[in-house]
Structure 1
Amino acid sequence: MARSFGEPLTKLRAVPIIDNGEPLVDPRTLSSRVAFAEKHPYFTEMKCTPHVRKSVAEMIARAADSLPEGLTLTIIEGYRPLAQQRWMYEQIKNEFATKHPEWSKATLHRVTNTMSAPPEDRCPPPHTTGGAFDLGLVDTKTNTPLDMISPFPMDSTSAPTERKGLSDEARRNRDLLVKTLTAAGLTNYAGEWWHWSYGDSGWALRVGAPHAIYGALPADTSPGE
C-alpha cells in the first residue's frame, strides 16, 4: 500500500501525532476573497464543507488576501468525515478498476493510494484531520476557474503539481498558486496540485516537523454552517 510522490505510507505512519485541539473554522469568515464551491466537481452527491482547523483557515485567508486583484481562492473541500473518505476511496478504486481491468490488485491499490488516502490506515487521511483542503483559483469577474491543466484532462494524468508539458498559461497559474500558498505556510502534496495542508502527517513529513499537530477528528464532529 505504498504512496508515491515522496510520501510512502511507511513514512507517514512513523510520524507521531500530538493533536493541539484546534477547532474547525470557516475561512470565509476571515477573508472576503475566500469562496466555497458548494459542490464537488466530480462527486456531486457528496456534501462538502470549507471548514478547516483554525490555523489553516488563517493561512488560507492570508494567502487569498495576497493574490493579485481579480482573483479568488475557492475551497472545493476542507474537513472530510472518515465515512465520506471511505466512500470516496472506493469510488476512485472502482473507477480505476473499470478503466484498467488488466491491473493486479497490488497495482490497483498502489495507484488508488496516490489519489486518495486509504481510510483504514493508521495514518489519518489528511482531510479527516481538518488540516487539508482542496482548492482552485477563480477569476472574480467571470467566475471562471483559472486554467491549471491544459492541454491535459482533469484526471490523474494532470494531477502531479510539477507535471511536464503544461501550457504556458497553466504553468503560470500553478506557479502563482504554489508561490502564494507556500508563502502563507501551507504545503502541497506533490501528487495533486489542488491538495494543500498544514499540521497533518503529510505536512510534518514535508517540513521535517517532529510530530503532526492534527489527528483525525472524532466521527461525530460537525463543522456547522
Structure 2
Amino acid sequence: MKPYQQIAIDECGEPLVPIPTEHFAFEMPHPYQKLGAPYHNSKADSPYYLRQGVVDSLIAAKTELQQNYKNWKILIFDAYRPVEVQQFMVDYTFNQIARAQGCEFPVPEDKCQVIIEHVYQFWAVPTMDRATPPPHSTGAALDVTLVDENNRLIDMGSAIDEISERSYPNYFGSSNEPQKQEYHRRRQILKDAMIAAGFQQHPNEWWHFCLGDQMWAWLTNQNNSGIQVIARYGRY
C-alpha cells in the first residue's frame, strides 16, 4: 500500500463529464486505445472524461497558463482510466520491460517480482478495492503536457510514461546545461498553471496531476500543518 492510499474517501457523487475540446489539445488517437486497451466496457464513451469539478479547475489552469503564454495549450494525454485499462497497461509495461531485459516467457518468479516492483513505481496497482482505487479510475487524475501555437509538442526532456528517473518533476532542476535548464523551466510552467488551479503533482511524474482524489489529499496534507483534508472522489 502506498502512503496516499491510507487517506479516507468521502465520495461526493459528482458525475464524469467530457473534457471540452475547445479549450485543450488532445493526444489522438488515444495512446492506450491504440494499443488495444479495453475501454469498451467503460462508463464513459471516451478516455477524455473527468469529474465536473476537475474539468472546471482544468479550465482555470488553461486560463492561468495563457496569461503568460497566450498561444500555448495544455494537451490531454490521458484522463479517466477504468481499472480494466489500468490492468492492461500494467501488464503491457511489465512485458515491455521484460522483453527489454531479454527475459524468457513465462518470466521466472524472482525476476518477475523485481520487474513488477519497478512497474509499480510509476503505475498504480489495478485493484477493485474501493478503499484504494487507482488515481485515474476516480476521474480526478490526468496526464498532461504542453503544445505551442502550431500544436507541436513542447519538449519536456522525457516522454510521458517513461519509466526512468528523468520522469521525476525536478530531475533537471540542478543541471547547469542550458538545454536541461530549459526542460526544467518548461516543466515548471506546466506545474505552476496546474497548481494555481488547485491541482497537485505526482512526486515521480512531471505529467501527472490530480485534484480531489487520495493522492491529492495526501499531497495537500503534506504541505499543510492545519486542517487535514480527505478525498472526495473514489472509483467511478
TM-score of the two chains, using structure 1 as the length reference = 0.82
Q: 1:107 to 1:38 in 2, by over 3 A?
A: same
Superposed CA offset, 1:6-37 (max 9, x none): xxx342332111110111122326xx332222
Equivalent residue letter for 1:145:
L
CA contact (8 A) 2:220 2:229 kept: no
Q: Distance in 1 between matches of 2:73 and 2:117?
A: 34
Q: How many pairs align? A: 204
Question: For 1:107-158, what per-residue CA distance to the aligned partner results, in whole angstroms no more than 9, with x for missing partners?
Answer: 2222101121110274110110000011111112x21011101xx5662222
Of the structure 1 ranges 156-165 and 107-116, higher mean CA displacement relative to structure 2 is found in 156-165
Q: Indicate the SS of the match to 1:114.
A: coil
Instruction: For 2:203 and 2:143, locate their aligned partners in 1 and report how far apart those are by CA, in whole Å.
Output: 13
Q: Distance in 1 between matches of 2:24 and 2:189?
A: 16
Are positions 1:37 and 2:38 aligned together? no
Residue matched to 1:177: 190
Task: Write the distance in 2 (CA, Å) between the matches of 1:42 and 1:174.
Answer: 23
| CA-CA distance at 1:43 after TM superposition | 6.1
Distance between the aligned counterparts of 2:62 and 2:231, measured in 1? 25
- Name the SS for the 1:58 alignment partner: helix
Conserved 8 A contact 1:49-1:77: yes
More divergent stretch after superposition (102-111 vs 131-140):
102-111
Q: 1:194 to 1:43 in 2, by over 3 A?
A: farther
Q: Give the alignment partner of residue 7 of structure 2, picking from 8, 11, 15.
A: 15
1:156-205 deviation per Cα after TM superposition (whole angstroms, max 9, x unaligned): 22211111346122111101011110011001112111111111111111
Structure 1 residues 64 and 112: alpha-carbon distance in aligned structure 2, compared to 1, 3 A threshold = same
**2:227 aligned with 1:215, yes or no?**
no
Structure 1: runs of 5 or more not aligned? 1-8, 218-225
Q: Which runs of 4+ in 1 moved over 6 A?
A: none
Q: Which residue of 82, 89, 107 corresponds with 2:114?
A: 107
Alignment check: 8 A CA contact 2:17 2:51 kept: yes
Q: Tell which deviates more after alignment, 57-66 or 163-172.
A: 163-172
- Map of 1:80 onto structure 2: 81
1:33 and 1:14 map into 2 onto residues whose CA distance is 35
CA RMSD of aligned residues (A): 2.2
Contact 1:38 1:49 (8 Å CA) reproduced = no
**2:133: which partner in 1?**
124
TM-aligned CA distance change 1:184 to 1:114, over 3 Å:
same
Partners of 1:42 and 1:80 in 2: how far apart?
10
Find out whether 1:193 has 2:200 as its counterpart.
no
Larger Rg: 2
1:27 equivalenced with 2:36 (yes/no):
no
* 1:43/1:172 CA distance change after superposition, 3 Å: farther
Contact 1:119–1:125 (CA under 8 A) maintained in structure 2? yes
1:53 and 1:153 map into 2 onto residues whose CA distance is: 26
Letter of the aligned partner of 1:131 in structure 2?
A
TM-score (structure 2 length as normaliser):
0.78
Q: For structure 2, list consecutive stretches of 5 or more residues without a partner in the other structure.
A: 40-45, 222-227
Please state if 1:71 is matched with 2:78.
no
TM-aligned CA distance change 1:10 to 1:65, over 3 Å = closer
1:222 maps to none
